[in-house]
């Protein structure tokens, strides 16, 4: 089960809306997918307020569209906006009297403790001929960093801690989409590599991707400076090649409601 209090802390701590490089690169994948669709989207829901790249694209392409952005906590979003902002429980989204032509989400849907309920609610919140598209991490995502963390755990603690949230199986997702009568479901795997000259910059970028383990059985304290010194050493041993290379690997889910 997800520790919702800790998850809210992760999503609001030192967060800079629209300024994460990795989010923006993944956003381009969603934009490319939307760009080939020749249908108008008038009423749009963003699940998880992560980046502004997709929002800017939608406003330019559909100037008269209405956009609602939903998140588990809105305290970080202090700028004035022409969008409607709503706070939701990710385990049981309730958006009364709203039907959307498009629901999109970038690295957010995997945070729910009840993915089946989320898919059911998304289906119910779509208009007929509505489109759903979302990205979620795959099992290979940031594997260099995750493996280095396990190595560091062994050295410092004599055992390994869960460091990232469990990954959703794509076969399970596909079956859910079919069960809830989504039409033409599709799941594509995507990846790209980022090179960092400074290890701290790599950590800063990863910190805001909702990837750290947020289960109720997580460690109840943050790691200290010593841990990150050892972590950089372990990363450098196996994965450093002129730079700190990090593979971003994610799945794009999309489907229609017919």
pLDDT on residue 206: 86
Q: What is the mean pLDDT of residues 190-207?
A: 92
Least confident range from 8-17, 163-172, 226-235: namely 8-17
Q: What is the pTM of this model?
A: 0.90
Both tokens of 233, joined, read: 């050493």
Domain extent listing, the chain:
4-257
Look at the chain and count its residues. 258
Please determine, for residue 76, whether its predicted confidence score (pLDDT) is greater than 80: no
Mean pLDDT of the chain: 87
pLDDT on residue 80: 66
* Contact between residue 90 and residue 118 where contact means Cβ atoms under 8 Å apart: yes
Please determine, for residue 254, whether its predicted confidence score (pLDDT) is greater than 60: yes
Burial tier of 19 (Cβ tally within 10 Å: 0-12, 13-18, 19+):
exposed
pLDDT on residue 71: 87
Q: How many whole angstroms separate alpha carbon 18 and alpha carbon 49?
A: 9
Looking at 3.40.50.150, 3.40.47.40, 3.90.79.10, 3.40.50.460, the CATH number of the domain 4-257 comes to 3.40.50.150
Question: Which residues face 132 on adjacent strands?
Answer: 103, 255
DSSP secondary structure code for residue 221 in this structure: S
Using alpha carbons, select from 192, 208, 229 the residue that is nearest to residue 23: 208
> For residue 82, what are the CA distances in angstroms to 9, 96, 139?
26, 20, 37
> For residue 183, what are the CA distances in angstroms to 49, 61, 114, 173, 174?
26, 25, 22, 13, 11
First-to-last C-alpha distance (Å) of the chain: 33
Q: Within a 10 A sphere around the Cβ of 104, how many other Cβ atoms?
A: 26
pLDDT (tens digit per residue) in 101-157: 999 999 989 888 889 999 999 999 999 999 999 999 999 999 999 999 999 999 999
Please determine, for residue 245, whether its predicted confidence score (pLDDT) is greater than 90: yes
Q: How many whole angstroms separate alpha carbon 78 and alpha carbon 64?
A: 24
Q: How confident is the model at residue 78 (pLDDT cuts 50, 70, 90)?
A: low
> For residue 84, what are the CA distances in angstroms to 80, 123, 177, 200?
11, 21, 28, 35
Q: How confident is the model at residue 49 (pLDDT cuts 50, 70, 90)?
A: confident
Report phi then psi at 65, rounded to 5: -70, 155
253: helix, strand or coil: strand
pLDDT on residue 211: 74
pLDDT on residue 119: 94
DSSP secondary structure code for residue 52 in this structure: S
> For residue 174, what are the CA distances in angstroms to 29, 132, 177, 188?
19, 13, 5, 11
Q: How confident is the model at residue 94 (pLDDT cuts 50, 70, 90)?
A: confident
Both tokens of 124, joined, read: 């119910």
Pairing of strands 240-241, 182-196: unpaired
């Amino acid at each position: 089960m997800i520790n919702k209090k800790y998850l809210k802390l992760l999503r609001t701590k030192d967060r800079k809306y629209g300024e994460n490089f990795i989010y923006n690169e993944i956003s381009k994948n969603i934009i490319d997918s939307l760009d080939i669709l020749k249908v108008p989207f008038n009423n749009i829901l963003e699940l998880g307020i992560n980046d502004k790249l997709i929002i800017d694209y939608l406003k330019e392409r559909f100037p008269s569209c209405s956009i609602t952005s939903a998140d588990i906590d809105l305290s970080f979003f202090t700028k004035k906006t022409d969008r409607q902002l709503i706070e939701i429980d990710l385990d049981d989204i309730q958006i009364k009297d709203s039907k959307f032509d498009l629901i999109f989400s970038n690295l957010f849907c995997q945070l729910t403790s009840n993915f089946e309920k989320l898919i059911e609610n998304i289906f119910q919140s779509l208009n007929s001929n509505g489109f759903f598209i979302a990205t979620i991490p795959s099992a290979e995502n940031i594997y260099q960093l995750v493996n280095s963390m396990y190595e560091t755990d062994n050295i410092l603690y004599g055992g390994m801690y869960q460091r990232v949230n469990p990954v959703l199986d794509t076969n399970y997702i596909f079956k859910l989409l079919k069960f809830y009568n989504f039409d033409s479901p599709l799941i594509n795997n995507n990846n790209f590599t980022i090179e960092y000259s400074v290890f701290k910059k790599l950590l800063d970028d990863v910190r805001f991707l909702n990837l750290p383990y947020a289960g109720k059985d997580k460690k109840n304290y943050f790691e200290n400076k010593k841990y990150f010194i050892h972590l950089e050493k372990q990363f450098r041993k196996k994965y450093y090649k002129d730079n700190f290379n990090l593979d971003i690997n994610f799945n794009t889910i999309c489907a229609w409601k017919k």
